[in-house]
Each structure stands twice: as structure tokens, then as C-alpha cells.
Amino acid sequence: MTAVSVGRAAPELPTPPGRAAAWPSASPSVWPASAVSAPGGDVTVGGVSLTGLAERYGTPTYVLDEGEVRARARAWQRALPDAEIVYAGKAFLCRAVVDWVEEEGLGLDVCSAGELELAATRGIPPDRIVMHGNAKSPEDLRTALRLGVGRIVIDSDCEIARLAAQVPGPDAQQVMVRVLPGIEAGGHEKIRTGAEGQKFGLSIAEGDAEHAIARILGQPRLELVGLHCHLGSQIATPEPYAQAVRRLVSFLARIRDRYGITLGELDLGGGFAVAYLPGDPAPTPAAYGRRIDDELRYACHGSGFPVPRLTVEPGRSIMAPAGVALYRVLSVKRSAGRVFVAVDGGMSDNPRPALYGARYTVRMVGRASAAPMRATTVVGRHCEAGDVLAKSVELPEDVRPGDVLAVPASGAYQVSMASGYNTTGRPPVVAVTEGRSRLLVRRERLEDLLRRDVGV
């Protein structure tokens, strides 16, 4: 398997012939560590030509470097060797990904019966699965109980009696309570989930979390094992996690003193940042791990509380850097001094820019060009003015229809959030490793979409 270095910048990639200014605009840190520049303006990932993948599988296509996924999973285990590392499946989940994380010794975090059933098809031990979500459906809870999920995270008062009534017994179902520590963190207001006044969790400050805990302790079919929180996404410094540790350990000590119960687990969720643009801050798992572990031990010592078993839920930080999206240029338009390059994908396969202004690096692959670079807006094919994939990216001035564009850091929250807008169908996902490729998820065809349409 191609060696992958996690926690360090990838080796500097040589500049393709005739493209003197091109590669520096796409820092290697936003690409999989296995990415290597190849003749003719191509790039290989996992030893496989991106241009060749576009030809073989068509476009849009999503490429996942299996070695990068596995290496990043291992990096989290090294960073927190005494903690449970649980992959957040909402970032991207398919059968192969379940296999990869299970083989690397990670647990799995799911948010629906569908994700849970998918995981069950691969035989991952249910006691290594955590289920959460702010509004679990009856089917979600039934499936979790039927399959024997290890921990269910309670997110509202409404879930307590509903869940307890369904536990078949004789053993109680282990649960955690998702609390709001009142911390503002995350790259955009729409992905900040640890502050007061939003839909997730139960407030510590307003007493909601303690009220829920008291109710759970009165339910013999529920076993409260710990607290859960999730601060948000794209958190580019360890400090909010340290702050959360201090507040949650203090709350754990208060629960012990008032209710005589010592909760033994603390789940800090995920949200660890990755680089989408050159220079984006993205601490290594080791940097997050050191700060979290140090603060946990210090806070517990100060409160006289035994160090709980820690869980973290990295999703994006494992999957996003392993993915590259491939598109083919359909048209080039020059208007009002701007250049618009339209591709054969867009917000149907990547809604992140439209949802919360996500930004990306873009590189042309498969054709060497000596043309000067120019600021370009890459747009999608859909009938929305907001269907913009990347603003102000540097592309050759002679970019033309038929060219292939590669977008790194595309492994998370793209295919998992994809839609069938304009009846285009969702793209395939292809794994690469050791110079070989294999299809993980096939392209959604028109007949797949029409099969659901039963009207006459």
C-alpha cells in the first residue's frame, strides 16, 4: 500500500511541464498524501491517474484514497490511545467505508435507521456503534434496540419515556445525554452546535440537562453512562475542546454530588478542521489529542473526579482529505470581466458552497498548458444562481470544454448530502489504492430515479 503521512504536509509535488505557475496555487496539504504530479498535466492519487479515472468512470466522479482513510484513522488512535475513536458516518458512509473503519479498530457513529442498517450488513459489532440525532424517529429507535446498539444519545426530554417504553429487557439500554456546554465554535454559524439557543442538546446553564438526567435515573430500563456534546464543525484550534472538557467535568462532579452517581464516559463529538484552501489551519490529530487529554486529566484532578473513558467522533478529518471530485468542463463564459467555467456537476453532488459558503481548491488535470493563470469562477450545471462550486480559483486562461477539473478535500459531506436535483442522478464513488481502482458506489441512473415514481 502507498505510504501515507498523516499529521505532516504531503511531499512537495513537482510542477507539471509547461505549468510553472499552476501547482503552487494548490498546496499539497489539501490533497491526499499519495498525490503525485504526472506527465501531461495529470495527477495520480493512490498510484492511479485522475484523468484515467475520469475516462473510465465518467464525470462527475468521486475518488477516495483508501490508504489515506486508513492512515487518518490510525493517526487518531495514536493521538488518543486510551480513548474510543468513533467514525462519524454522516461524513460519508458505504459498505466499504464500514469495513475500513472496522478493520482499523474504530467504532461508528450513526444518525438514522438507514445508516445503522447499512452498518449491520457488514457485521460491525453493535456495541461499537453510537446513535444520536436531535429527532430520532420511532423507526430509528426500534432499529437501534433490535440491533443492540451500544449507546443511544438522548437529545431531548421527549425521547426518555419513548425510548424506555421500547427497551425489551432484561438488560437496560445504555444511554448518554447530549448537553450544550454554551461554547461558540465552528467555521460557520450553520455548523455551530455547542452554543445556547439551537436545536441540538440540552442546556447545562438553563438546567435542562440536569432535569433530563434526573428523569433518566428514574427509568430502570435506561442506564445512564455518561455525557455527550458536539461543538460544531471545522473547529481549527483545540481550545474549544479544552473549554468543553472543563465545563463537562465540572457538571459530572455536580451530578455525582447531587445524585450519588459517577458517570464513567465523556463523548466530545467531532468537528476537527481540515484544509480546503492552501494555508487553512488544520491541527493534526496529535495536537487535538494532547490538548484534550491534558485538560481532561487536569480538570478531573481539580474536581476529584475519576478520569472518564473518552470518546471522540472524527468524520470529516478522516474522510475529507482522502477524496477528490472529478468534473468535466461543459462551457466557458466570459462576462463583465469575469470567467465562468461550468462543469457537469454542481450543487446536486456538492451542496456545501450553497449551504454555508464552503470554498475549495480546483486544478485542471490531464492537459499541460503554458497559458497564464486567471481567477475563475467554477459553477455547476443547475438552474440556480447559487450553484457555484468555487470562486476566484486560478485556472489556465485557455481552459476549454472537455477539460477535467479535480477538486481535492471532497471526501466528506458531498456525496452523503447529494440530491437528485434536475433528475441528474448522484455520482459514483471509486476507491484507489496501490495503483488499482474499484467501484464502491455506482452512478445513479435515470431508471433508478424513475423506479421510485409510481404515479400514473
Q: Return phi, psi of residue 24, to 5°.
A: -60, -20
Active-site residue (options: 111, 229, 300, 383) = 383
In this structure, how many other beta carbons lie within 10 angstroms of the beta carbon of residue 281? 11
What Rg do the C-alpha atoms of the chain give, in angstroms? 23
Whether 158 is catalytic is no
* Buried b / exposed e along 307-321 (16+ C-beta atoms within 10 A): ebebbbbbbbbbbbb
Any bridge partners for residue 439, and if so which?
Answer: 430
Q: Which helix (H) or strand (E) holds 360?
A: none
Helical spans, DSSP H, in 26-147: 50-57, 66-79, 95-103, 113-120, 138-147
Active site (catalytic) residues: 383
